[in-house]
């Protein structure tokens, strides 16, 4: 009996010690695993944004795109950006060429701009990103819903002064413009008026650059025969009901029987569609922050950011 106990007791002791060791290892492993999971969660939270403030590329755009630039910055860094610049496309391109910025977002480059880059021995690379459009509006009581391009030019060079001349009522046309040298005014003169001289604008006939209707002066609201223009984005962003064609006391006019709808602008069928491009120096490294930013912007998530800001994302 004593001999049996002498054998059994050591075996029991070994089993108890082994069980304790295995249990200790198991619980220690669980704690280590839990600790690693917590670290991973912490890393995921701190790295949920594609960029930090320091790694975010230097970007500049024309003023109508500032809302989008701010939204990209917020989405990709988690921080707010207060952008306030009013440079022209030419000035922004010069900053890109001189490496003051890394990315420019501009409308279609002109022959002169492309030549400027060539003379500076800079090869540019472009990526289509979004579309916008110049839209024309009038008071909703106006029986005119569509204007031919040539008649629009005649209104703004002073040859058509009454709505009755284009199948409207006998009401004097009050044509509003944008401030001189603003992007929208320059687009109006360069792409619509072209070689036709635009009428001299009175001070009270000027609509702020970044306004659709809300910030227009009281004279605009008081004019029954008014016509004005702005960007699709401004008009859409402020009221979010552009699909109905009528906002408050104003409606959008069709041009050549083509309405400024999302679909018509996206397809380019609307005559005054504006396409914007990301413009970079082609020598930017493939694994750098610039191309990483572009990859984010042209992804589906990036397109959704543009749509949320009121723009028409590239398909």
Q: How far apart are CA 194 and CA 152, in angstroms?
A: 12
16 plus 98 within the same structural domain: no
pLDDT at 247: 47
42 plus 58 within the same structural domain: no
23 plus 97 within the same structural domain: no
How many residues are present in the chain? Answer: 315
217 plus 309 within the same structural domain: yes
pLDDT at 222: 53
Q: Which domain holds residue 21?
A: 1-48
27 plus 164 within the same structural domain: no
67 plus 205 within the same structural domain: yes
pLDDT at 205: 54
pLDDT at 105: 96
131 plus 197 within the same structural domain: yes
**Neighbour count for residue 149 (Cβ, 10 Å):** 12
What's the pLDDT tens digit per position in 157-215? 999 999 999 999 999 999 988 888 788 999 999 999 998 999 876 444 555 555 444 34
If one counts the domains in the chain, the total is 2
145 plus 31 within the same structural domain: no
Q: What is the pTM of this model?
A: 0.76
Domain of 67: which CATH number? 3.40.190.10
252 plus 210 within the same structural domain: yes
What is the token pair recorded at 166? 């284009």
Residue ranges of the chain with per-residue pLDDT less than 50: 1-3, 5, 12, 14, 17-46, 202-204, 211-219, 240-243, 245-247
41 plus 68 within the same structural domain: no
Instruction: Check: CB of residue 249 under 8 Å from CB of residue 222.
Output: no
24 plus 76 within the same structural domain: no
**Neighbour count for residue 100 (Cβ, 10 Å):** 11
First-residue to last-residue Cα distance in the chain: 89
256 plus 107 within the same structural domain: yes
Interior/surface letters 76-90, b for 16+ CB within 10 angstroms, e for the rest: bbeeeeeeeeeeebe
């Amino acid at each position: 009996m004593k001999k049996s106990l002498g054998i059994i007791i050591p075996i029991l002791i070994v089993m108890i010690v082994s069980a304790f060791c295995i249990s200790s290892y198991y619980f220690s492993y669980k704690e280590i695993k839990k600790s690693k999971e917590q670290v991973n969660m912490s890393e995921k939270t701190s790295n949920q944004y594609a960029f930090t403030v320091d790694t975010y590329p230097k970007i500049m755009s024309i003023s109508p795109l500032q809302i989008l630039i701010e939204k990209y910055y917020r989405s990709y860094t988690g921080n707010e950006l207060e952008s306030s610049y009013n440079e022209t496309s030419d000035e922004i391109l010069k900053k890109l060429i001189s490496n003051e910025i890394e990315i420019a977002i501009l409308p279609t480059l002109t022959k002169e701009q492309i030549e400027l880059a060539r003379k500076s021995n800079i090869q540019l690379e472009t990526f289509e990103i979004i579309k916008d459009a110049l839209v024309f509006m009038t008071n909703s009581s106006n029986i005119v819903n569509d204007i031919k391009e040539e008649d629009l030019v005649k209104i703004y060079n002073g040859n058509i002064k009454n709505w009755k001349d284009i199948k409207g009522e006998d009401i004097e046309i009050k044509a509003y413009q944008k401030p001189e040298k603003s992007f929208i005014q320059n687009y109006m003169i360069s792409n619509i008026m072209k070689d036709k001289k635009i009428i001299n604008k009175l001070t009270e006939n000027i609509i702020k650059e970044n306004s659709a209707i809300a910030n227009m002066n009281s004279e605009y609201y008081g004019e029954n025969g008014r016509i004005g223009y702005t960007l699709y984005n401004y008009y859409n962003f402020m009221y979010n009901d552009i699909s109905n064609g009528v906002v408050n006391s104003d409606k959008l006019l069709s041009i050549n029987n083509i309405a400024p709808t999302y679909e018509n602008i996206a397809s380019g069928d609307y005559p005054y569609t504006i396409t914007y491009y990301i413009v970079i120096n082609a020598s930017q490294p493939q694994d750098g922050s610039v191309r990483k930013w572009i990859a984010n912007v042209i992804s589906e998530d990036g397109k959704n950011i543009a749509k949320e800001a009121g723009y028409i994302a590239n398909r």
